[in-house]
Structure 1
Amino acid sequence: MAIVAIDAGGDSTKIYDGQKVNCFPSAIGYDWRERNLKQQQGEHDFEWEYRGQKGFAGTLALSESECAESRKGDSKAHPDALLRILIALHQYTDGIEQKIVVGQPIKTHTPEEKQLIKEMVIGRHELVINGKRRSLLITRCEVAAEGVTAGLLMPSSNTIRIIDIGSGTVNFGTLLDRKFNDKGSFTLTTGMETLRFADPVAFGRQIAIRALASGWGKHDTVYLCGGGTEALQETIRAYFPNSKPIIGDPVTANVRAFFLIARKLYG
């Protein structure tokens, strides 16, 4: 039995088993074809078959699919997210039975949306990747709130603020005495890859002003995570002088925090 955390992000999918984070591009193409020239395009070339459909994923989708895309938005209750989760389990776990924790943006971290994800994920799945067939039985799935959950990685503090800058959303999270605070947590439904012109100064300014307008204090300690951390940290620091990247790799903060929950629930 495997116990893992999976962050099926719009740009990349991360899976963590408590020892190592593995990551691959989230791009998926449904336009499978028989290739005449079969050369490896990258480390994460995936040719998949699931429920009667076939396609390319990962680096193979980016190179060979004419319609490759990575679905983004404020919910992960959709088939692309399911495929990312199943590909991660197929490639980086052993055995049949799986217990997992996945993520959902704060805005849609509702009982209804979480139930949709659980119904989509829990059960038996037959999946072929690069000619290898595996049967996966997901017996448990819990859904963590993206961004704010990453605050669990930080040392205990009265107030912890998190800005999680993703490809399709930005999550603003607040922990008060290690408890999630709804009033100080929300989601901006644009991200680094959904803007036509993702100017780091303009986008960083928008993010900071949105946080200030929602009651965050200028001198709060704000931890940054997600793929946009490096590009936006200097701009955000102009508005929040005490902002800094989260401890460890900011890109993998969510999945590392999800595993803390998985270990507590299933360990």
Structure 2
Amino acid sequence: MTTRLIVFFFTLVLPTLAWTQDADFAALFKQGTQHYTAKEYEQSRDAFAKALEQDPHNATTLTNLALAQFQLGKKPLAIGLFRKALNSDPELTPARAGLKFALTQMEIKEIPHQIETYESVRAKLLAPVSVIAYLIMTALFLFAAGWILIGFMGQRRRALAEEKALPGFPMIGTFLALCFLVSLTLLSLKMYDQSIVRATVVDDKVSLQSAPGDNQVALLDLYGGMEVIVQNENNDWVQVTYPGSITGWVKKSAVLRTN
């Protein structure tokens, strides 16, 4: 287990040090690296946490902080940090591998619920791809389909003017136009998905209550590492929904927002 985590870690170190232009950030990142390799995980955690204060959405640093938290036994928090890293950079392979590995180490008890179609689509098509990637793909399909269809219209106009046989409709243009519509739909869903506030349960176990406040009716138990949708807030309490299940309230400190 430790060997795999160190592999994830070193995969991330060099790119971040090369990208950053902030000397303080680089120094903190280096400290986190040194402490981690020395198995001084608390100091490593503190260094990466300070680095995040300067760049809160740095996916690489979030991933490394998750690794340090995992080594300290805070697996649910590590899972939340991995998800937060993937929200910043959905294509960051080490974060995705780290999340997958961390989840295998959890004994997450599934709550009976109906898997919603949207959540299935999100897991397979939306979460792994960034908005930028969908924008580029949509633009390419639009350009390719438009180029072919405009060319076809030009050929048709010339054929009519010269009283020749009309050219056949370009099937590849139709195919690309359909691909454009599918890509545009996925882009719209991706942008909608980003508007949904999600969080990860970071306590080992927390009761989902019927209302905010202590001593309320407990509806069911949520377990560390579970992902929930944030609906509302009330002081130190947050209303969440476990996808496909019921909605209730938990303490704000029991969850980590991941987007």
Q: Which has the higher helix share?
A: 2
Structure 2-normalised TM-score? Answer: 0.27
